Homo-oligomer: A and B are copies of this chain.
Amino acid sequence: MAKAKETKPAPGRFAYEGLERAIHEKARLGIMSSLMTRPEGLSFNELKELCDLTDGNLNRHLEVLSEAGLVTVRKQEGTGRGRTLCKISSQGRTRFKEYLEELERVIADAAAASAAGQRLSAT
């Protein structure tokens, strides 16, 4: 007789397709999070400090985010030295929220796995 089967997770169950690559990279995740906290934008130097990045790295990651339509980067000319203002775009906000929903699934999966592991070790 066939023995009782465990419920088998669906193919691709752990592919986490919702983790958009442009956002998921660690430094860019930090940049997006910083910009979420400041809808009015952050200067290049503020971002650099908050995310602990070099000029070169921050530039490179802002380029990726900006090409993906997630942020806007604008040189502000004015009194004194120019200042670069970085802002999350409205599309960026929406996509970051979708990204976070997938991240919550990752955590929920791990929590479920951890609970199952505890049940196993208790038997």
Contacts and interface: CB of A to CB of B under 8 A. Distances in A.
Chain A contact residues: over half helix, strand or loop, or mixed?
A: helix
Contacts of A19: 26, 29
A106 interface: yes
| Total copies of this chain within the assembly | 2
Given A21-B26, A33-B109, A36-B110, A15 B51 contact: yes
A110 B23 CA distance: 13
A112 interface: yes
Interface in A14-28: 14-16, 19, 21, 24, 26
A109 to B, nearest CB: 5
Contacts of A39: 117, 120
Interface string A81-96: 0000000000000001
Contact of A26 (B13, B16, B97, B110): B16
